[in-house]
Amino acid sequence: MATRTQPTVFLTGATGAIGSRVLEHYLLRGSEVLVLVRPRERQSSEERIAAMLEAAKLPGELRRRAHVFEGSIEEPFCGLSRLDRRRVISAADLFIHSAAVTNLGASPEDCYRANVLGTEHALELARLCLQGGRLRRFAYLSSYAASGTARSGYFAEDSLPAAPFFANDYERTKYEAEALVRTALGRELPIVIFRPSVTVGDTKTGRIASFNLFYQVVRILGSGMLSHWPDLRERKVNIVPVDYVARAIRRGLQVAWALGRTFHLVSRNGCLLRDLFDLVKVFPYLRVPKLVPMAQWSLSLLNQNEQAIHRALEAYLLPYLNDLRLETRNAERLLTLPVINPSFLRRLMEYAVKAGYLPRECFAPAPLGPAEALA
């Protein structure tokens, strides 16, 4: 592989919302990117990446800089063959570990295998890259939810809380995985940790590779499946544009002072649910529930099926509406934090319609699926 002025990157999780944008970001800036991908039942690893880069409309010469390696983070050394392992060790300047199970409804076993064991295997491979190659930085994609969202609180950047309160197994295993990374921080590996909040579409276009918790809540609340909903319009959830996250990761792997630091990649103001409810009204095919003041709210307002939907939404959504106060001193030194406004929210909605996630005319109720991806 030809030597370039831009770093060569080894990337896991390249098919996810953040990983796909990190891949694009480095390709556009002249890097060679070694991409770890596992095949699916009907798609090879190469086909998955080719389809993704085709959808991103990257020119052919840039796509050729993406080199696909078949493997899985759930296996030792990320499932790489000996030959592929040697290729990665000799070439990687940067190792970005983005892969994870982000499904908030995933089983404890699935979360553990991907998030904890997967991180152990990534660290194992990164140590080989440092010992036998030219590795300069290891980036771990954690989540702001790794600190535990089940209770309100203040979350520092450069540490994890000693006694967190988790809302689900995703949070628990992201905490455990980050704890593993923090053990290796400074002593064994040159590590930088990033904790994005709920990641949404591009600042300018709204484009996103996969639709996560934010979009799923919009789709459910606009589907007509719920006749009533408690009035939470004064609450907010922190969302962050995916292009900001990709730029912040690249910047954090460039500057010397970022080594050993942790960054809350979040928006300055979050998304006020009032703005979201007002925006949904602009889309006439969405049927929002009637909002009920909290003092008058009761599950008895809903039929049996609606109550089941409400309980699922409550489990997935309400923890992220807590008053989570996030330190951003490191992040603000790195890049200016993005600001969420109604025009940006509208771009997110319009892209979801364009992509077919939200239908153009009539929104038919769909089965309630598990909410996904915080980061």
Per-residue pLDDT in tens (0 to 9) along the chain, 375 residues: 444 589 999 999 999 999 999 999 999 999 999 999 998 878 899 999 998 899 889 999 999 999 999 999 999 999 999 999 999 999 999 999 999 998 888 899 999 999 999 999 999 999 999 999 999 999 999 999 999 998 888 999 999 999 999 999 999 999 999 999 999 997 889 999 999 999 999 999 999 999 988 898 888 888 888 999 999 999 999 999 999 999 999 999 999 999 999 999 999 999 998 988 888 777 777 788 999 999 999 999 999 999 998 888 887 787 888 788 999 999 999 999 999 999 999 999 999 989 989 877 644 444 444 444 444
Structure tokens at 306: 């609606």
Q: Which domains does the chain have, with CATH numbers?
A: 9-199+240-265 (3.40.50.720)
Q: Output the pLDDT for position 109.
A: 97
Q: Output the pLDDT for position 363.
A: 41
For the chain, the distance separating the N- and C-terminal CA atoms, rounded to the nearest angstrom, is 31
Does this model's pTM top 0.85? yes
| Contact status, residue 374 vs residue 144, Cβ threshold 8 Å | yes
Distance CA(97)–CA(296), nearest Å, equals 46
Distance CA(121)–CA(217), nearest Å, equals 33
From residue 364, alpha-carbon distances to 7, 60, 211, 217, 285 in Å are: 47, 38, 18, 15, 10
Structure tokens at 4: 């370039």
Burial of 337 (0-12, 13-18, 19+ CB in 10 A): middle
Torsion of CA 329, 335, 339, 345, to 10 degrees: -130
Distance CA(129)–CA(127), nearest Å, equals 5
Residue 249 φ then ψ, to 5°:
-65, -45
Distance CA(298)–CA(275), nearest Å, equals 24
| Contact status, residue 93 vs residue 8, Cβ threshold 8 Å | yes
279 Cβ partners below 8 Å, 6+ apart?
342, 345, 346, 349
Q: Output the pLDDT for position 4.
A: 54
Residue 179 φ then ψ, to 5°:
-60, -40
Question: Which residue is listed with tokens 């990983």?
Answer: 19
Helix (H) or strand (E) holding 138: strand 137-141
Sign of CA dihedral 75, 77, 82, 84: positive
| Contact status, residue 372 vs residue 294, Cβ threshold 8 Å | no
Bridge partners, 66 (sequence order): 33
